[in-house]
Chains A and B, each alone.
Chain A
Amino acid sequence: MLLLHNNLMIAIVNHGQTKRFLSIAKKAGIKGGTIIPARGTASSRFLRALGLGDTSKEMVLIVLEKGLEERIVSEVRADGHIQGVAALLGSTKEDGMETRWKMITIIVNAGYADDIMDAARKAGARGGTVTHARGTGTQEDAKFLGVPIVPEKEMILILCESEQTESLMSAISSLKCLDEPGIGIMYTQDVTDFRNLDPKK
């Protein structure tokens, strides 16, 4: 049976820290989580110019009851060994109230993530996380020697303040290289809570 809750917590932590993170979160009361390997885009301008500095990250998806996120975040912070952030998506606080944070998700054909992040940064984004994905493909006739071909995709998550959303999205959608039909989709979600897991920050 599927576990159903209204809230989704997305935590993005350094590679190899998910185990520790999940064991703390489990003690706080969750049943489990889903781990997705991801790539953090460099935050240092110098390293970015050199093309180096992308870091291996892991993304953890946890569905949970409302209120549990407080305990998880505080206990992870108390532990002090995990570097990363956590965002809570789900039912908005109160009707009509704008949330302070939003998450922009972009799903495009593989290979465009770096350019999208570059545009987003110029428009004020502080960082982004990239994962690999596979499209289901609408063209069911696309076969090569009898084997179906599936389009490879990249999924980019950008957390930003609500006021930034418009300018970020227009900066991304005006990218020249994305100017072809069927290249991908973009959407936003309300982030009800956004926390740094590192107690030093």
Chain B
Amino acid sequence: MDFVSKLKETLTSVLPIMVIVLILNFTVAPLGAKLVPFLVGGLLLVIGLSLFLAGTDIGMVPVGEKLGSVLAHRRSVPLMMAMGFIIGFAVTLAEPDVTVLANQVHSLNPAINQKVLIVMIALGLGAFVDFGLLRTVMGFPLKWLLIFFYLIVFALVMFIDQGMASICFDASGATTGPLAVPFLLALGLGVSASTKHDKDSSFGLTGVASIGPILAVAVMALLTRGAGGVAETAAAAAESHGFGTVLLSKLKDTAVGFGPLFLIILVLQFTMLHFPRIKFRKMLLGMLYSFLGIVIFLTGVDFGFVEVGRYLGQTISQNYSPVLVVCLALVFGGIVVFAEPAVWVLTHQVETVTAGRIKRMMVMVFICIGVALAVALAMIRILFNINYLWFVFIGVGASLLMTLFTPSLFTGIAFDSGGVASGPMSTTFLLSFAMGVSGSASMGFGLVGLIAISPLISIQILGLIFRVKERKGKKGAGDAASA
């Protein structure tokens, strides 16, 4: 909506990170010449994020909602499946995080072509958007769908090596980034709003969709197994480019990604959406703002944030005790979530859909605690070299078990926040911090995946607390009535 209120929102979310980095600058890790790019980067980050959010509000969100309701009205399952797939596919191609991740994977294992990987991830997402939509319309219990597919994931992951396994989960976290999430949430809400299901089925589409990339990458890893293997490359020294070069390359990357999505939406406008003139113009402007916002955001991230993240990780882990690293990880983890645009979108929709019964801040706090612990755990894993799969098995296993007991609304929100918590802030700042700490690129992977798993547990705990409270309330009322 209005740009100024978005600006305020993002400023309050990015500022804490900047303050902490500044404190570190004057205490344990002086930044020197990196300080100015970092500050400029932070400024660009805030502007880009605000512009992007303002853009999705009038661009992607109306498209997703309208498409969802049009599809439900057409009452054609095949059409709905086809559209969900095509849009899911196109959105993933445009998602900047996926491109970043694919490039990192390619540098680790040259046997994997990054273009093929991106297409595989996009196919995986598209297919699972379909499963998610079908579930919403049919009202099939979310938990059984999740349990079924995660069991398949576990089975597949057993056969591939640790490095690739961690990339699987990272891919899922990266896919559900700032572009896909508003769209997926809107589509899910659109379909469920116009089918008048209970509120519980509004959420969960993002959660189901994010399984797709895991499976896609796992299959890729199985197919290319033995061909090259994961090379243990040292973290590439941060290349310092001029501001113009970074901006141009981001502009190009984002344009290539946005192209297909833009074309599809244009075609949709004349076939299914039929937005009236002014609304259409507004939607186009929204798309433009989102596009420019992403470019500015990524430029800011690359220009200052990544380098500083890596540098901080390196300096602090070399010169100070692991305790400080873990403590910092806790703080960073908690704060970065606040800066994640998709988390704002999700928590806002949670509050709206539940008509304020579930308070936004409560969801926020629980996601924060979860992510803070996850980032700290990831550091412990790096420092003590523990097998990644243990974390995944225990984490996902526990959250699947919990789905049996938590209210289904919370299961949906939990699995949605999973994909949502790991957005551009974690794939850039935190990932580079982890890489700095580990000193090698491959150990840094998996962090995004862990971040994505943590809300599954923390939000479901919130759900359990709610359930116990509601029972107590009911019981109390019952006692009063009988007395």
Contact = CB atoms under 8 A, between A and B. Distances in A.
Contact of A112 (B1, B72, B276): B276
A110 B75 CA distance: 18
A52 B278 contact: no
A145 B77 CA distance: 9
Given A52-B3, A54-B1, A55-B1, A114 B195 contact: no
A198 interface: no
Interface in A66-104: none
Nearest to B279: A114
A148 interface: yes
Nearest to B286: A51
Contact of A118 (B195, B278, B285): B278
Interface string B26-59: 0000000000000000000000000000100010
B278 A145 contact: no
B195 A147 contact: yes
A150 interface: yes
B68 to A, nearest CB: 10
Contact of A144 (B54, B75, B286): B75
B385 interface: no
Contacts of A152: 69, 193-194
B54 A111 contact: no
B66 interface: yes
Given A144-B75, A145-B138, A111 B282 contact: no
B6 to A, nearest CB: 9
A51 B137 CA distance: 33
Nearest to A144: B75
A67 B267 CA distance: 56
Contacts of B3: 52-53
Given A51-B58, A111-B275, A112-B279, A56 B1 contact: yes
A3 interface: no
A111 B279 contact: yes
A51 B196 contact: no
Contacts of B359: none
Contacts of A143: 75
A145 B137 contact: yes
A167 to B, nearest CB: 19
B66 A149 contact: no
A39 B1 contact: yes
A114 B58 CA distance: 11
B5 interface: yes
A115 interface: yes
22 contacts: A50-B285, A51-B289, A53-B2, A54-B58, A55-B2, A56-B5, A110-B65, A110-B69, A112-B276, A112-B279, A114-B278, A114-B279, A115-B276, A142-B73, A142-B75, A147-B196, A148-B196, A149-B72, A149-B194, A149-B196, A150-B194, A177-B277
Nearest first, the 8 A-B pairs at minimum CB distance are: A51-B285, A177-B276, A115-B276, A51-B282, A147-B195, A115-B278, A144-B75, A114-B279
Given A56-B5, A112-B279, A114-B279, 14 more contacts: A54-B2, A110-B69, A111-B66, A111-B276, A113-B279, A142-B73, A143-B75, A145-B138, A147-B137, A147-B196, A147-B197, A149-B73, A150-B193, A177-B277
